[in-house]
Chains A and B, each alone.
Chain A
Amino acid sequence: SAVISQKPSRDICQRGTSLTIQCQVDSQVTMMFWYRQQPGQSLTLIATANQGSEATYESGFVIDKFPISRPNLTFSTLTVSNMSPEDSSIYLCSVEERRDGYTFGSGTRLTVV
Chain B
Amino acid sequence: QKEVEQDPGPLSVPEGAIVSLNCTYSNSAFQYFMWYRQYSRKGPELLMYTYSSGNKEDGRFTAQVDKSSKYISLFIRDSQPSDSATYLCAMKEAGSYQLTFGKGTKLSVIP
| Chain A contact residues, CB within 8 Å of chain B | 1, 4, 6, 31, 33, 40-45, 48, 58, 92, 96, 99-107, 109
- Is B97's CB under 8 angstroms from A31's CB? yes
Count of residues in B whose CB is under 8 Å from the partner chain: 22
A45 contact set on B, CB distance < 8 A? 98-99
Say whether B60 faces chain A, with CB atoms less than 8 Å apart.
no
Asked if A104 and B44 make an inter-chain contact with CB atoms under 8 angstroms apart, the answer reads yes
Are B103's CB and A106's CB within 8 A? no
Question: Within the assembled complex, what's the spacing in Å between the Cα atoms of A105 and B36?
Answer: 13
Chain B CB within 10 A, most for which of A1, A43, A100, A105: A43
Residues of B within 8 A of A43 (CB): 44, 88, 90, 99, 101
Which residues of the partner chain B approach A48 to less than 8 Å between Cβ atoms?
97
Q: Report chain A residues within 8 Å CB of B45.
A: 104
Structural contact, B43 and A92, CB atoms closer than 8 A: yes
With A41-B103, A101-B34 known as contacts, the answer to whether A96 contacts B97 (CB < 8 A) is: yes
Taking a contact as CB atoms under 8 Å apart, the answer to whether A102 and B103 are in contact is no
Q: How far is the CA of A4 from the CA of B34 in the complex (A)?
A: 19
10 extra interchain contacts, Cβ-Cβ under 8 A, other than A42-B104, A105-B43, A107-B43?
A40-B8, A40-B103, A41-B103, A42-B103, A43-B90, A45-B99, A92-B43, A101-B32, A101-B49, A102-B46
Determine the distance from Cα of A104 to Cα of B43 in the docked complex, in whole angstroms.
6
- B102-A106 in contact (CB<8A): no
B13 to chain A, nearest CB (A): 22
Tell me the bound Cα distance from A43 to B92 in angstroms.
Answer: 13
5 pairs of residues in contact across A and B, judged by CB atoms under 8 Å: A6-B43, A43-B90, A58-B98, A104-B36, A107-B42
B97 surroundings in chain A (CB, below 8 A): 31, 33, 48, 96
